[in-house]
Amino acid sequence: MLVLVPLQHKMKFSLLSLTVTLLFFQFRISSAQDSLKHCCTDEFMKSVYQKNPFAQYNRQQLELFTQQYHANNNTRQIYVIPVVFHIIHNYGSENISDAQVRDAVKILNEDYSRMNSDTADIVNTFKPIAANIGFEFRLATIAPNGNCTNGIEHIQSNTTYGGGEQSKLNPWPREKYLNIWVTRELASGAAGYTYLPGTASADADGIMILSTYVGSTGTGNYQTARALTHEIGHWFNLLHPWGNSNSPGVSCGDDNVNDTPETKGWTTCNLNGASCGSTLDNVQNYMEYAYCSRMFTSGQKTRMLAAINSSVAGRNNLWSNSNLIATGTVTPNTTVTCIPVADFIGSSVNVCVGGSIQLSDVSWNAKVIYRFWNISGANASSLTDSVISISFNTPGIYSVSLTAGNNSGSDEITKTAFIQVISDTDLHAHSYAENFEDNSFPDSDFQPENSNDINWYLASPIGYDGSSHCLALHNFSSPGNETYGVDGPSFDLSTFANPNLTFHVAYAQKTAVNNDKLRVMISLNCGQNWFPRYSKSGSQLATSPLQTSNFFPDATEWRMETVNLSLYAASTNLRIKFEVISNGGNNIFIDDINLGGYSSTENLLTDNSIQISPNPALTGVTVTGNSLIGNTISIYDLLGRNIFSEIPTANTETINLNSISSGIYFIEIKSSTEKKTFRFVKM
């Protein structure tokens, strides 16, 4: 192992412990200090060593180069650094504007050239060593594939929730660009992180930052914007002033820079603060955790200049003339006109016949000069505006296309089956039951709202009461903080004698702190607005003990839930939705959905042996059970019309279906005090 000689009289530091430091930084907002999160240094060190056995060697080489590097040998005044921002979003506020990104770049350039307006506030003791680093950040205008870019790409992905390494999508070559990934959340709960040079794989080498910590406009503000300045300092080999940890205020430490006083670190802006024998700490340093960052020191400048002149992790290629040509960053403030990348969002994906949906053009990469919407069957307020309103006269599933262009060209995007238009007259009446045994999902009744990798699906062979299918959400793989909805059918509730919605649920927590929430939502306007009528989470929702692996229920791990809808008994168009707000927990299963068939919070039929077969049926269907004698068996169609009724004299009843047309029907078994309804399909 190489032995490092400490710089001047600075205290020793552990090379091993700084080999890869996961660097988190949070700032105080509006004079209220955010709670700081601890890093996972040891865990990430192990991970990096397993993936990159040369990480420690790279760190040693860079430290030796840094100690031998002399800033007075540097003749270059400005180092230009090409930058690309990857905005990872799910069409929420995290999909920040290009203007907010450009504002962030402006703040970076001010901070790294000592042109920030608040340098006047630097404590007099440190003003002489407040340094102009000489770095200039420029958004790339040429992408790795040679295409035109504005240096900002918008990528739709649910990894924006609980962001981390999995959120580092579409990395551009690190020796050519500084990659900055922007997400809505970080799994760590921190504002951002990065790796020191030479410790990350090429695809992971860059900055992770929250969307609220980018720039001073939009979702950001000026104080939180300095988090990016902090993280880029780490990317160029700076440590925290108290050393290689994420725990300021604990013990004296050192950053291996000769003009930053040894310190315990600060999380508040005590400008008179002193620790570890120093007469005054550099509390206003960008690498501190105080909320009043103003400066880098000359010693930190030397360390960053060494990093950008070192071949470790390709930092020395960033500013080469050939790379500036390749990335289109030779000339400052270069203006290019790229072809837009077409994209759009809708205010909803479900609407009643005659109801309206708003579509908005969110194309990126260039200003859109002209556009054309293509929605067959729609009534549109315009086909060329950036925001349009559409409605439909006919129920169905509709696709939407958008062409967006300018003088450089155009791009088109089509989102198939994007909008579901629901009939406002063809509603379920009298009774309803769904046990998913017809093996059909999505269908006219149930449609998932999300289009992500994690979504509702039809699980098999799993189901309540021995059935072979049920509705399921594979929540075990969810990053958490994501909402998964599945829109259900509409009902004319005024026709129901018993307006109780019942369903069976199965769920186990992954850990005691995983509070996944299940809600039943209702809408009185075909899904334009929803509000909850049932909500349970965590241990209250659980039907089984904790299970750290993927949960799949057995026959004993189901519970029936009842949602009383009597308040809306007069509604002629009530729609239901099942919604899971994920906390990164475990799988959730739903089965035996029934409206009007139960009247209490428990199963009324004590005998669960009833079977309907075959299902689907062609010429006849057989009902079997241990308690059919003397009860009434009826068949209803989707409109609630009774087409068959009989009181069986045996516990097996076969019904001839030759006179019934193909479609979906309900078999109701009813006694004087209870009833149960099953859905079946006539082929």
Position 43 confidence tier, pLDDT thresholds 50, 70, 90: very low
Q: Do 34 and 212 meet the contact criterion of CB atoms below 8 Å apart?
A: no
Bond preceding residue 448 cis, omega within 30 of 0: no
* pLDDT of the residue at 115: 96
pLDDT-wise least confident of 241-250, 323-332, 526-535, 652-661: 241-250
Residue 221: name the closest of 86, 362, 100 by CA: 100
d(CA 668, CA 641): 12
Q: Is the pLDDT of residue 16 over 50?
A: no
**Catalytic entry in 63, 231, 437, 482:** 231
Q: What is the DSSP letter of 387?
A: E
Average pLDDT over residues 233-247: 87
- The torsion angles phi and psi of 295, rounded to 5 degrees, stand at -155, 155
Taking the CA atoms of the chain, what radius of gyration do you get in angstroms?
31
**Residue bearing the bigger pLDDT, 88 or 460:** 88
Q: Is the pLDDT of residue 18 over 80?
A: no
Average pLDDT, the chain: 86
Q: Do 114 and 130 meet the contact criterion of CB atoms below 8 Å apart?
A: yes
- Enter the pTM of the model: 0.75
Position 438 confidence tier, pLDDT thresholds 50, 70, 90: confident
Who's near 571: CB < 8 A, 6+ residues apart?
Answer: 491, 492, 493, 494, 524
Pairing of strands 531-537, 483-491: unpaired
d(CA 119, CA 410): 45
Dig out the tokens for 414 from the structure: 């089509």
Written as one string, the DSSP assignment of 296-318 is -BHHHHHHHHHHHHS-GGGGGGT
What sign results for the dihedral spanned by CA atoms 112, 113, 116, 120? positive
* pLDDT of the residue at 677: 74
What sign results for the dihedral spanned by CA atoms 529, 531, 535, 538? positive
Dig out the tokens for 164 from the structure: 């981390």
Position 368 confidence tier, pLDDT thresholds 50, 70, 90: very high
* pLDDT of the residue at 48: 65
3-class DSSP assignment, residue 138: strand
Q: Do 151 and 85 meet the contact criterion of CB atoms below 8 Å apart?
A: yes
pLDDT per position as a tens digit, 287-317: 998 889 999 999 999 999 999 999 999 999 9
Residue 544: name the closest of 534, 560, 558, 532 by CA: 558
**Residue bearing the bigger pLDDT, 622 or 410:** 410
Q: Do 447 and 422 meet the contact criterion of CB atoms below 8 Å apart?
A: no
pLDDT per position as a tens digit, 518-563: 999 999 987 878 999 999 999 999 999 999 999 999 989 999 999 9
d(CA 81, CA 79): 6
d(CA 501, CA 290): 54
* pLDDT of the residue at 24: 39
3-state helix, strand, coil in the chain (%, to 5): 20, 30, 50
Q: Is the pLDDT of residue 621 over 50?
A: yes
pLDDT per position as a tens digit, 93-140: 999 999 999 999 999 999 999 999 999 999 999 999 999 999 999 999
Q: Is the pLDDT of residue 452 over 80?
A: no
Who's near 641: CB < 8 A, 6+ residues apart?
Answer: none
Q: Do 392 and 377 meet the contact criterion of CB atoms below 8 Å apart?
A: yes
Q: Is the pLDDT of residue 179 over 90?
A: yes
Q: Is the pLDDT of residue 597 over 80?
A: no
- 94: annotated active-site residue: no
Q: Which of the residue ranges 53-62, 167-176, 662-671 has the most confident prediction, judged by mean pLDDT?
A: 167-176
d(CA 302, CA 576): 63
Average pLDDT over residues 653-674: 82
Q: Is the pLDDT of residue 60 over 70?
A: yes
pLDDT-wise least confident of 16-25, 111-120, 582-591: 16-25
Ranges assigned E (strand) in 407-544: 409-422, 432-434, 447-448, 456-459, 470-473, 483-491, 500-507, 517-523, 531-537
Average pLDDT over residues 156-170: 88
Average pLDDT over residues 506-516: 93
Task: Say which amino acid occupies 175.
Answer: E
Q: Is the pLDDT of residue 246 over 80?
A: no
* pLDDT of the residue at 127: 97
Average pLDDT over residues 38-56: 53
Q: Is the pLDDT of residue 478 over 80?
A: yes
Q: Do 90 and 156 meet the contact criterion of CB atoms below 8 Å apart?
A: yes
* pLDDT of the residue at 248: 83
d(CA 12, CA 308): 24
Average pLDDT over residues 196-207: 91
pLDDT-wise least confident of 238-247, 251-260, 330-339, 482-491: 238-247
* pLDDT of the residue at 351: 84
Ranges assigned E (strand) in 362-477: 370-374, 378-380, 387-392, 396-406, 409-422, 432-434, 447-448, 456-459, 470-473
* pLDDT of the residue at 282: 97
d(CA 319, CA 307): 12
